[in-house]
Structure 1
């Protein structure tokens, strides 16, 4: 597989994982990259594309808020529609992870029970509360931004970079599942994934705002990582998705100050 083909496969893998956009019919290969063939995609290697996809999804949904605000709709209502657009683009993947993590961490007595609850498709009271609060915080913070496209793009990029960062610092909490196979993210892919949204923040925001956004992302991701390590001993796909939502909300809140 050529260098360009690998990059294209990475992008398809990232789009297929993080959005509901059509990403072709490439066959998924091993998460760690063994025995790759021309039509295989490697989820672990695609980590460098996650922040790019987060930037694009954030810019698109922020554009919805900006357009509706320009049309005369109230900012909070426009921000609510922007959140709806984002959920449509991502299929609510990260929000689903947040709800599952909240239910598991809040209702499980031990690690095994927490992981079992997180795998249950039903949503409990902790999950509902987490979803409501996450949407409320993000929508209200977005409504307070003068430039919603920039703000939501940076927040989305940093949120997806945090997902890649968690893969680098936490072991998988269970032996099966999609995230369990992504234990060997290539160092260059991880470095690129972390650098892209930081560069985007530096280029689009004033220095103090960019620094505040990056610091908020680091603190929020660190808190999620520490909580996941204490609760279940590592990461799952739900933890990664929850991390993206929590980091995004934290960055938007700081930008709205």
Structure 2
């Protein structure tokens, strides 16, 4: 199995958690990409912290111009654009699958379906609303922390 270069795992973590283009990864063959992705798991917390830092920075900067609710909405919108709404999609899938009575293989089938149902829409709306309220209620410097 080909070993990925040292620069590949952090870039693969960025590619996995964001929608930022990472053209250097096109140079990896399949074996090196698989090796790099396995080692990229160690980089996920750092990339996640960077995404959180961007979100917090947007909130703090926007709060200098607008009320906290608007600043929090802008911060969450930037985060969703940056990540491709990765976590929001997972929440909606989970709520659709387990909101009803689905279990086992049926729940997995529902989670793989790209459409959103009523449980997914409600769960997603509540989750974003809860995040909005929590971020908006924090003092700017505490929110950044």
Is the TM-score greater than 0.5? yes
Provide the residue aligned with 1:182 in structure 2.
none
Deviation at 1:137? 1.1
Residue 95 of structure 2: which of 82, 90, 102 is its match?
102
Q: In the comparison of the two structures, how many residue pairs are matched?
A: 140
Deviates more, 1:113-122 or 1:40-49: 40-49
Alignment of 1:170-249 (within 5 A): none
Q: Are 2:53 and 1:59 aligned?
A: yes
Provide the residue aligned with 2:135 in structure 1.
142
Provide the residue aligned with 2:125 in structure 1.
132
Unaligned stretches of 5+ residues in structure 1: 30-35, 151-257
Provide Cα deviations, 1:135-189, integer angstroms capped at 9, x if missing partner: 1111111112222222xxxxxxxxxxxxxxxxxxxxxxxxxxxxxxxxxxxxxxx
Please tell me whether the aligned partners of residues 105 and 114 of structure 1 are also in contact (alpha carbons under 8 angstroms): yes
- Between Structure 1 and Structure 2, the one with more helix by share is 2
Report the Cα distance in structure 2 between the residues aligned to 1:140 and 1:26, rounded to whole angstroms: 43
Give the TM-score, by structure 1 length. Answer: 0.50
User: Does the residue aligned with 1:121 lie in a helix, a strand or coil?
Assistant: coil
Unaligned stretches of 5+ residues in structure 2: none
User: Does the residue aligned with 1:44 lie in a helix, a strand or coil?
Assistant: helix
Deviation at 1:117? 0.5
Q: Are 2:15 and 1:16 aligned?
A: yes
Provide the residue aligned with 1:81 in structure 2.
74
Please tell me whether the aligned partners of residues 88 and 124 of structure 2 are also in contact (alpha carbons under 8 angstroms): yes
Shift in alpha-carbon separation, 1:16–1:125, aligned structure 2, 3 A: same
Deviation at 1:28? 6.8
Name the Cα RMSD after superposition. 2.1
